[in-house]
Amino acid sequence: MSLWRKKSIAKLLADAENAEHGLKRTLTATSLVALGIGAIIGAGLFVRTAAAAGEHAGTAVILSFIIAAVGCLFAGLCYAEFASMIPIAGSAYTYAYTTMGELIAWIIGWALILEYALGAATVSIAWSEYLNNLLGGSIPYQWCHSPFQTSSAGVSGIINIPAVFILLILSLLLIKGISESAKVNTVIVFVKISIVLIFVAVGWHFMKPANHSPFLIPDNAPPVLDSNNKVLYDYSAAENHGWLGVLRGAAVVFFAFIGFDAVSTAAQETKNPKRDMPIGILGSLAVCTVLYILFSYVLTGIAPYTDFVKAGSEASISYAIEHYMIGFKWLAPLITIAILGGFSSVILVMLLGQSRVFYSMSKDGLLPKTFSDLHPRFSTPYKSNLILFVFVGLFGAFVPESVAGDLTSIGTLLAFVLVCAGIIILRKKDPLRPRPFRVPLVPYFPVFGAVVCAAMVASLGLSTLLTALGWMLIGLIIFFTYSRHHSNISSENLPEK
């Protein structure tokens, strides 16, 4: 059996038209844009901005956002063409199956677990931390931390109950239906965008030009010292200053753009996917890019970038408000509420995306049938949602927040590179197929998108790359021992290409 056997696009589309036994088409272009914003604006904006500015790019973090956005733009154009042409749940996994074959499709599907499932678990742990912060630390330490964590007072964690709680609530919401989930997400998106705009409007009056000079961190920038005059952070390394620092910052803030591709996983639940999917993907990306640039410009103008190392990346926004925006300390709790809302919508869309990828992989026989069983009333993959809740919930309950955002980014960047390559392949092999949305200047735009994303992968560090490689090896073992032998392509005796 060939490892490169492909799925027929015609058969995919024919199967998707079986509305009686498939996912319900209820989403519009507006709800798709909100879905994308809900997935994008979260930990990336509220945490990664300060981390990239304080440790690598300084006030030039604005350029880091632009570089990351450019890579996402070209990848987004490729996603938009695929989503309008193949409006099937599964996102990059499905696109790879039709262009590069079963093995590559499995690799992409397995890599997306790093983005969606592990990303949701990690954000749920952060959600727990911010909830406890909002409540003034009233949740006992042992009930909001894992057994592997111990407080400064010597108290050991037992289970992270708030993380499990938010995962359960959002999983039940997804089981209830995609339409209900989209409505809740739209409300959350409105709230957090409002808070971001308030911060930008108010903070604009507290910016100091001196904080934006020099724009790039110089190679002779003095190290950041702690209260005992010990070196807290050193900028002498090449990736911590200048243009290399900006590129490293782009890889860091790329985490802030993760999520727009999750819009494509809802293609099979969209009323008019050929028109609405490009709007949802590119529209959400455009809105978030503008907000990110404004937000990072104001944040680094309010406080010196070195403060973000001292204060810690997670507390940096509240720190800037409380220390530099005189008379506006009341805004800090609202920012925390926005962060909680942002994290909630990110978790919601990540769980949605992962369950839809599992749904597609199960329909293809690469995963057990359980993952594609639909609820008799809600027409949602409820068993997949429940299994996913158990897996993600165990991670959120008993594991500390040790999964780096860089590891989550690798799965996404790999998917982006292969989606860009898939556009070129399909344009050559099937040039006459109708394309409601077309990427301009092929192959130049897809090649440029793949190169930018590959460059960000290369800048993530050896340890992160080795961890991702280990994860992929586990996936390959599962593929060769189970998935390859249960594939529907094999059972249907479809011709190999």
State how far the Cα of 428 lies from the Cα of 77, in Å rounded to an integer: 18
Residues 255 and 390: their CA atoms lie apart, in Å, by 25
The more confidently predicted of residues 390 and 41 is: 390
Q: How many structural domains comprise the chain? A: 1
Nearest CA to 53 out of 44, 64, 42 is that of 64
492 is a domain residue? no
* 67 within domain boundaries: yes
| Separation of alpha carbons 188 and 194, rounded Å | 10
Q: Residue 101 has which token pair?
A: 């074959």
In whole angstroms, give the CA distance from residue 352 to residue 364: 19
Residue 493 in domain: no
Closest CA to 46 of 345, 382, 329: 345
The rounded distance, in Å, linking the Cα atoms of 193 and 289 is 13
Q: Of 346-355, 361-370, 380-389, which range is least confident?
A: 346-355
Mean pLDDT of all residues in the chain? 83
Has residue 264 been placed in a domain? Answer: yes
CA nearest to 128, candidates 144, 152, 151: 144
Read off the tokens for 238.
């090449």
Per-residue pLDDT tens for 43-96? 677 777 888 888 889 899 999 999 888 888 888 889 888 888 877 766 778 888
Instruction: Average the pLDDT over 466-473 and give the result.
Output: 87
- 73 in a domain, yes or no? yes
20-to-24, 65, 203, 457 alpha-carbon distances in Å = 9, 44, 52, 42
Residue 90 CA to chain centroid, in angstroms? 15
- pLDDT reported for residue 405: 58
Residues 6+ positions from 242 with CB-CB distance below 8 Å? 216, 217, 218, 219
Beta bridge partners of 262: none
Examine residue 23 and state whether it is found in any structural domain, yes or no. Answer: no
Question: Residue 444 and residue 439: Cα distance in Å, rounded?
Answer: 10
Q: Whole-angstrom Cα distance, residue 78 to residue 437?
A: 9
For residues 378 and 180, is the Cβ–Cβ distance under 8 A?
no
> Mean pLDDT across the stretch 147-176?
88
Instruction: Give 231's pLDDT tier (boundaries 50, 70, 90).
Output: confident
User: Which is more confident, 34 or 169?
Assistant: 169
Q: Taking a C-beta distance cutoff of 8 angstroms, is the pair 251, 57 a contact?
A: no
Q: Is the pLDDT of residue 107 over 70?
A: yes
Q: Which long-range contacts (CB under 8 A, 24 or more apart) does 91-94 make?
A: 91/261, 91/262, 91/264, 91/265, 91/267, 91/353, 91/356, 91/357, 91/415, 92/261, 92/264, 92/415, 92/416, 92/418, 92/419, 93/357, 93/360, 93/361, 94/7, 94/12, 94/360
| Cβ atoms < 10 Å from Cβ of 154 | 7
Average the pLDDT over each of 135-144, 150-159, 201-210 and give the range with the smallest value: 150-159
Q: What is the pLDDT of residues 250-295, one digit of tens each?
A: 878 877 787 777 777 777 778 887 788 888 888 888 988 999 999 9
Three-state DSSP string of 99-140: HCCHHHHHHHHHHHHHHCHHHHHHHHHHHHHHHHHHCCCCCC
Nearest to 4 by CA among 492, 482, 491, 487: 487
Query: 450's torsion region: left (phi>0), alpha (psi -120 to 50) or beta?
Result: alpha
Q: Which domain holds residue 395?
A: 31-486
Give residue 94's pLDDT.
Answer: 82
Virtual CA dihedral for 394, 396, 397, 402, nearest 10 degrees?
Answer: 110
pLDDT above 50 (res 366): yes
Q: What is the CATH number of the domain that holds 374?
A: 1.20.1740.10
Residue 15 has what pLDDT?
A: 62
Q: Which pLDDT score, from 0 to 100, does residue 20 have?
A: 45
- Name which residue leads in pLDDT, 491 or 242: 242
pTM score, two decimals?
0.76
Spatial CB neighbours of 234, under 8 Å, sequence gap ≥ 6: 223, 224, 240
Contact in structure between 240 and 459 (CB atoms under 8 Å):
no
Per-residue confidence (pLDDT) for residue 476, from 0 to 100: 93
Can you say whether the dihedral through the CA atoms of 462, 466, 471, 476 is positive or negative? positive
**Over residues 390-411, mean pLDDT:** 76
In a domain, 10, yes or no: no
- 25 Rama class: left (phi>0) / alpha (psi -120 to 50) / beta: beta
pLDDT digits (tens, 9 = 90+) for 189-224: 888 788 888 889 999 999 999 999 889 998 888 888
The shares of helix, strand and coil residues in the chain, as percent rounded to the nearest 5, are 70, 0, 25
Give the pLDDT score at 183: 77
pLDDT at 152 over 70: no
Least confident of 35-39, 211-215, 465-469: 35-39
Report the alpha-carbon distance of residue 212 to residue 300 in Å, rounded: 7
Per-residue pLDDT at 326? 87
**89 belongs to a structural domain:** yes
How confident is the model at residue 313, as a pLDDT? 53
